[in-house]
Amino acid sequence: MLGVSASTLSRRDDLAGEARGERDVVLAPGEVLRLGAIYRKRSLNDVAQALLDLAERADQQERRIVEAELEAYFAGNTLADERQELLRRARRLLDQEGVAELEAILARAADPLPDMIEGYLPIAEED
């Protein structure tokens, strides 16, 4: 689902999972998305869809529970939330001038992304 081997995940010391049996660990949907954001092997949307598909195979109630957890994860991890957290920390750690400078930087509109990326590709010379 994440595009990462189970052995890679098992070596992490920050997993928030629930033990099932002697060796198996079950991760909550939010934890799976957190790991997906760390490893970035697959789109978080694809990971979320795989979680929904897996839950739906169990039953509709399970799908609703997983869907609610996914919505909560995405609601708490938006760019706007990250900006607010950054400003909250800045207000705690910086002086007024530093906070004002950061607010001005964050208020600037980002440059639009290019429609096309052009580059120079050298052409091999013929003998």
Q: How confident is the model at residue 31 (pLDDT cuts 50, 70, 90)?
A: very high
Quote the pLDDT of residue 120.
60
pTM: 0.61
Among residues of the chain, what percentage have pLDDT more than 70?
A: 87
pLDDT tens by residue, 37-87: 889 898 888 999 999 999 989 888 888 999 999 999 888 777 777 888 899
- Distance between CA 90 and CA 97 in Å, rounded? 11
Domain boundaries, the chain: 6-76, 79-109
Q: Which of 91, 86, 123 is nearest to 106 (CA)?
A: 86
